Amino acid sequence: MKAIFIDIDNTLLDFDEYVRTTMAEGFAHFGLPAYRPEMYHTFTTENNKLWRRIEEGTLTFEELQKIRWSRIFDALGIAFDGPTFEHYFRTAIYDSAIPVPGAVPLLQSLSRHSILCAASNGPYEQQLHRLELGGMKQYFTHFFISQRIGAAKPAAAFFDTAFRELNEARPTAILPRETLIIGDSLTSDIAGGLQYGMKTCYYRRPGAPAAPAGVDYTVTALSRVPALLKMDCPAL
């Protein structure tokens, strides 16, 4: 592959673990009912609903931040100010970088053979900072982040801008069919890649749905990716 696009949250950096930790610490900090593991399911359900709307183009990230925790607290039956907890949540995530197992060796391997592009729906400075903290930023040459691009995966506008920037000053353009996207989201990473004519690699996390027809690769561990692409990988 000439270029490989890689999602960040829950592909390279463990967003789920961050949420669990921050909910537990934040609830204790604000004197809320003690965090219980089943509360994470409520967060995921409400958060995913809002991110689907972002992917559909009917909600902005700024709007999500205003309503997310109010909806989560309503679903949990907790009386607390949502925007206050959102500020705590966003402040904490800025300095959160929990690597998914195998992420750094994967980047080390792929960067020897391909141009690596971070492809994320999220705040630009935050995502770059977290990649830096996680020891991953150095492996990327391009950072395609929705806040800066002005469109979110899976929208064609996201990939239009990404490929335009990827091919700037390049004598021969890299075509979508010569690229791969790796990600954990069927609705943003995989759907976007398929619609744009890219090769796709679905990182299927525990409990996630199976890949639909047309997906080129499915892995349950990042360490499997280099072998599928016939690349060498440092020992894990």
Q: Which residues contact 208 (CB under 8 A, 6 or more apart)?
A: 184, 186
Same domain, 112 and 8: yes
187-230 pLDDT, tens digit per residue, is: 999 999 999 999 999 999 999 999 999 999 999 999 999 988 87
User: The domain spanning residue 62 has which CATH number?
Assistant: 1.10.150
State phi, psi for 77 to the nearest 5 degrees. Answer: 75, 30
Is the residue at 179 inside a domain? yes
72-89 pLDDT, tens digit per residue, is: 999 999 999 999 999 999
Same domain, 62 and 113: no
Positive or negative CA dihedral for 9, 13, 97, 104?
negative
pLDDT at 231: 64
Q: Count structural domains, the chain.
A: 2
Global pTM exceeds 0.85: yes
Same domain, 89 and 106: no
Instruction: Give the strands of the sheet with 3-6, arranged side by side.
Output: 142-145, 115-120, 3-6, 179-183, 199-203, 217-219
Which of 179, 181, 205, 204 lies closest to 191 in space, CA to CA? Answer: 181
Same domain, 29 and 118: no
11-23 pLDDT, tens digit per residue, is: 999 999 999 999 9
| Domain extent for 29 | 15-94
Nearest-5° angle of CA 144, CA 139, CA 102? 105
pLDDT band at 31 (very low <50, low <70, confident <90, very high): very high
Does pLDDT of 235 surpass 90?
Answer: no
Is the residue at 235 inside a domain? no
pLDDT at 217: 96
Which of 66, 75, 61, 224 lies closest to 145 in space, CA to CA? Answer: 61
